[in-house]
Amino acid sequence: MEGVYFPEKGLASDLANRFSESFKKSSWISAGRDLVSSSALKLIALFLMVIDHIGAFFPAAAPLVLRWVGRLSAPIFVFCLCEGLRHTSSRNRYLARLYGCSVAMGAVNLTLNSLFPEAPVPVSNHIFSALFLLAGLITLMEQKRYVTLVVWQLLSFGLTALAGFFWPQVAPLAGDLLPGLFTAEGGPSLLLLGLICYFFAEDKHLLAAGFLLWGGTLFAAAWADLGLRGAFVQGYQWMGAGALPLLLVYNGRRGRGMKFFFYLFYPLHVYFLFFLSLLTG
């Protein structure tokens, strides 16, 4: 695959190009094999996600290692979203499907949490909102519609703030109607990782550098805020960088058609675990 080249003249562009060329010589990446399709990545991510959610819904019984392993799932899903966004035959339908799932799951989550306030673990899982936000962000950036992006985020902040003040119970749904940078699952750090996956996907060396920088920054921030132990017990989002080896062996192919499987499996397994925790809690 072609690398990223920085054509502008100057010291910064020269250093960037030198870094890109020297990083390509690293044998630990060049020796990889393109073995994994998009469908295979999604299945792996689904398996890791179920492990993570078992740990989330049964925190007293499940070991913390389940949450650690589960950190790999979101980066893989984000990577697959970026690939789908790049190759979809209709980006508008792709965005509409994500938005519809985001609003629908937000409404169901709100309903369940209202009907079962005594649930040991409320339903808060909602990756659709973050995926739609990332897809919309990338689309507006490519179209250079920065004003629209800013207005969107201001409206999202305003709607969520008003809902939180006047009707706190529906504030999460307001964030699903207009997903915001700070209300979507994963927050700004997951969106930043999505931008790395989208714009560096065609150069695995830059993708690896971006992933390692992302994970290293999150680890350093967690260590500074929570201490070394806290970085493993509380602030372990940085472990998502462990998904990198799987992405480096991605072969650029779709694999077996599983177009709607994830859209169904994700909410169904979340609600199954929710009711199971409700019955056993």
User: Residue 84: beta bridge partners?
Assistant: none
Nearest to 251 by CA among 56, 63, 76, 33: 33
- C-beta contacts of 34-37 below 8 A and 24+ residues apart: 34/249, 34/250, 34/251, 34/252, 35/249, 35/251, 36/246, 36/249, 36/250, 36/251, 37/250, 37/251, 37/253, 37/254, 37/255, 37/256
pLDDT at residue 7 in the model:
46
What's residue 208's pLDDT?
96
Distance of CA 115 to the CA centre of its chain: 29
Neighbours of 72 (CB within 10 A): 24
Contacts of 17 (CB under 8 A, 6+ apart): 5, 6
Over residues 187-213, the pLDDT tens digits come to 899 999 999 999 998 899 999 999 999
Please give the chain's pLDDT, 281 residues, in tens.
444 444 444 544 454 455 445 444 443 444 445 688 999 999 999 999 999 999 999 999 999 999 999 999 999 999 999 999 998 989 999 999 999 999 999 999 999 999 999 999 999 888 999 999 999 999 999 999 999 999 999 999 998 888 888 888 777 788 888 898 888 888 899 999 999 999 998 899 999 999 999 999 999 999 999 999 999 999 999 999 999 999 999 998 887 767 788 899 999 999 999 999 999 97
Give the pLDDT of residue 21. Answer: 52
Residue 112, SS3 per DSSP:
helix
The confidence score (pLDDT) of residue 177 equals 86
pTM, to two decimals: 0.84
Run of H or E including 205? helix 204-233
- Residue listed under structure tokens 């750090």: 189
CA neighbor of 195 nearest in space, from 117, 44, 78: 78
Of the candidates 262, 269, 215, the one whose C-alpha atom is nearest the C-alpha of residue 243 is 215
Quote the CA–CA distance of 74 and 237 in Å, as a whole number: 10
pLDDT at 192: 96
- The per-residue pLDDT for 83 is 94
pLDDT at 244: 97
